[in-house]
Amino acid sequence: MLFEHTSTRRIEFSETDMAGLVHFSNFFKYMETAERDFFEAAGVDLINTKPGDIVGWPRARAECKFSAPLRFGETIDIHLAIKSMKDRSIDYQFRIFRRNSDGTRTQAGKGHMTTILTELTASGALRSIELTDSVRERITVAPAEVLARPSGV
């Protein structure tokens, strides 16, 4: 069972502002990238669009605290850990690190996101549903030491 995952990517020019810094909204996109990669690694569908069985994970809450700037061309690691799982939702913890040229990392942001498993009803409304056995067999809560790791680790 998976409880953490790290995704790596380079900062694109289109993600920066006039000062050459990553616009804050992109930190949320980075968190979603890590979430997608985590679900893929766990073998869980992030979105299921089979006719009559449309399910997904809309956000109930998202926040990010920024602690260092990111710039075009830099390489970042986005670490996701499962903070908690409830009957119908998953809480993620994210840490975003810039890889420095000397081999160290600098934490650039720390975030949290809550997603709720939902299905699309015949009337077009979203309705929350219980986490499936398949999800619970593949994903679990991270140990406390993973959630408490110091920045840069």
Domain CATH number, residue 126: 3.10.129.10
Instruction: For residue 14, give its domain range.
Output: 4-147
Please count the CA atoms within 13 angstroms of the CA of 100 that sit on its side-chain side.
Answer: 10
**52 Rama class: left (phi>0) / alpha (psi -120 to 50) / beta:** left
Answer whether 152's CB lies under 8 Å from 104's CB. Answer: yes
Mean pLDDT per block of 10 residues along the chain (153 residues) reads 97 94 96 97 87 84 97 97 98 98 96 95 88 95 90 58
Q: What is the pLDDT of residue 51?
A: 66
Q: What is the pLDDT of residue 26?
A: 97
Q: What is the pLDDT of residue 55?
A: 86
Q: What is the pLDDT of residue 53?
A: 76
Q: What is the pLDDT of residue 152?
A: 58
Burial of 96 (0-12, 13-18, 19+ CB in 10 A): buried
| Domain annotation covers residue 152 | no
140: its two tokens: 């679990």
Q: What is the pLDDT of residue 122?
A: 82
Q: What is the pTM of this model?
A: 0.92
Q: What is the pLDDT of residue 31?
A: 97
Q: What is the pLDDT of residue 80?
A: 98
Q: How many domains does the chain have?
A: 1
97 CB-near residues (< 8 Å, 6+ apart)? 76, 77, 78, 79, 105, 106, 107, 108, 151, 152
| Domain annotation covers residue 153 | no
Question: Edge to edge, what strands does the sheet with 4-10 contain?
Answer: 4-10, 75-85, 89-99, 105-116, 59-66
